[in-house]
Structure 1
Amino acid sequence: MSKIDIRTVNVTQYVQPLREGGSLPAIVKADDGFLYVLKFRGAGQGKKALIAEFIGGEIARAINLKVPELVFMNLDDSFSKTEPDEEIQDLLKFSVGLNLGLHFLSEAITYDPLVSTVDALTASKVVLLDSIISNIDRTAKNTNLLHWHKELWIIDNGASFYFHHDWKNWENHLTRTFPLVKDHVLLQNATKLNEASKEIQQLLNRDKIAEIVSNIPEDWLLSEADTMTATEMRDAYIKFINTRFAKIDVLVKEAEDAR
């Protein structure tokens, strides 16, 4: 199984905000010459959204779904000083440090359930991915999927792992399933859930899960509002994912019943 190698790049140019995202992500250029969609640590859900985006994206990649390359992006304080828009200026100011970038897929189009097509196995894998990571935000209203080069690409997993917004009660989530799968945009296409489940179990294991979580930057885990240590939080993410993964058959049945 291949090792995760997350590159770190520096933002060299703020190109434009993406107004369709609630957290005002932006297209930026990095010192490697590529364009990225930058997710800001200073946005609404802050660093927790970056953690969810990172873990969700790398689990998706591990199970052979298409995900733009994820990179850590250093943002310095020079950008806020030249930005005329006050809202963006504040966002840049509060996001100095390490952020998360997704490789920009030029000319990709948003997945539209009425127009776009997706094969049953891919749809089934995405549905089970979101059941495992408790992603409440892949609905017809907001698909968080792109079509690029005739393939389906996974983006925007920031609403996953919502238990981490309330660490005091996170263990209550260990026994839950994912009833919100009923609203999943790909549920009707997901007719190969058993096959998808077998494939996921071949590709994902405890070591891979631990490796993904170990790559979360320490700085993203630390917050004055939280009483848990960074190590305790990492252990919690690992335990949550492993617990979900262990009951994948239950998640398959729940999705089948919902469909």
Structure 2
Amino acid sequence: MVDNPLQLRTVNVVRYVTPLREGGSLPAIVEADDDFLYVLKFRGAGQGTKALIAELIAGEIARALGVRVPELVFVKLDEAFGRTEPDEEIQDLLRASEGLNLGLHYLSGAITFDPILNDLTPRLASQIVWLDAFVMNVDRTARNTNMLMWHKELWLIDHGAALYVHHTGPNWPEQPRRPFAQIKDHVLLPQATELDAVDAEFRQGLTSERIQEIVSLVPDNWLLNNGATESATDQRAVYAQFLTERLASSEIFVNEAKHAREALV
């Protein structure tokens, strides 16, 4: 478990390298002023800032639990980047994303995880299944694993589809005990034989204080960018309470995963 105080670095885009035309959000590889490459998730993409909020919260929860994710950074995009881009679709995206976005450290040379070729221990598989059930991540299937092998280690990417309930309307905070039926499609579910042991470990290690620290990282303007009537502080409190209550009732989503696994094997 990670015990150090949480903070994210902030970098500035100096070069737009290439778009990654995958999914609906049109992420891109960019170079920042620290000389590193990042996969940039745009605030102006179709899913809006809620996708960035989910990416940040789920990614930092994974890190807190000891699961590998690329470093997340805040990425500032200057208004000048939208002026010279010849592709009109990308130009519109850049202009809509001026300001603070989210980047993931680009894992150069990484290859997509293949569930047939890449073996995982039951413990790691159980950790990832538990994590995705907790944050309600619908996007870790055999069709799209969102996992990479880099230097012979497994890394998780792309959590923008997590916490999908925050797209469902004003009553979403009332659903922390909601089962996660989509876990039946998880690519690692057959190998997840240690869910009870992982549940006990993660419930002890992921404290309410750590959850609040993670949620506190979400920038104000991401929260106020969705037509919200509540303050950013109040919205953070809602996210923190939702996750804390969901953690306290983890037996619901753990049992759902165990039953789904039994149906498979």
Distance 1:199 1:175, change over 3 A: closer
Instruction: Give the aligned CA root-mean-square deviation in angstroms.
Output: 1.2
Deviation at 1:248, TM superposition (A): 1.7
Contact 1:73 1:101 in 2 (8 A): yes
Deviation at 1:171, TM superposition (A): 3.2
Deviation at 1:224, TM superposition (A): 5.3
Q: 1:1-259 residue pairs with structure 2 within 5 A?
A: 1-223=3-225, 225-259=227-261
Q: Distance in 1 between matches of 2:109 and 2:125?
A: 22
Q: Distance in 2 between matches of 1:224 and 1:159?
A: 17
Contact 2:147 2:155 in 1 (8 A): yes
The range that moved more, 7-16 or 146-155, is 146-155
The range that moved more, 179-188 or 163-172, is 163-172
Aligned AA (1:234)? R
Contact 2:82 2:95 in 1 (8 A): yes
Q: Distance in 1 between matches of 2:227 and 2:234?
A: 15
Distance 1:224 1:198, change over 3 A: closer
Deviation at 1:180, TM superposition (A): 1.1
Q: Distance in 2 between matches of 1:55 and 1:63?
A: 12
**Helix, strand or coil at the partner of 1:223:** helix
Q: Distance in 2 between matches of 1:155 and 1:224?
A: 24
Q: Sequence identity of aligned pairs in percent?
A: 57
Q: How many corresponding residue pairs?
A: 259
Q: 4+ runs of 1 displaced by more than 4 Å?
A: none
5+ residue gaps, structure 2: none
TM-score, normalised via structure 1 length: 0.96
Q: Distance in 2 between matches of 1:21 and 1:32?
A: 28
Q: Distance in 2 between matches of 1:100 and 1:249?
A: 32
The range that moved more, 171-180 or 120-129, is 171-180
The range that moved more, 40-49 or 242-251, is 242-251
Contact 1:14 1:27 in 2 (8 A): yes
Cα shift readout 1:51-98 (whole Å, capped 9, x = no counterpart): 000000000000000010000000001111111111111100100000
Aligned AA (2:104)? L
Deviation at 1:116, TM superposition (A): 2.0
Contact 1:167 1:226 in 2 (8 A): no
Distance 1:123 1:183, change over 3 A: same
**Helix, strand or coil at the partner of 1:222:** helix
The range that moved more, 101-110 or 159-168, is 159-168
**Helix, strand or coil at the partner of 1:194:** helix
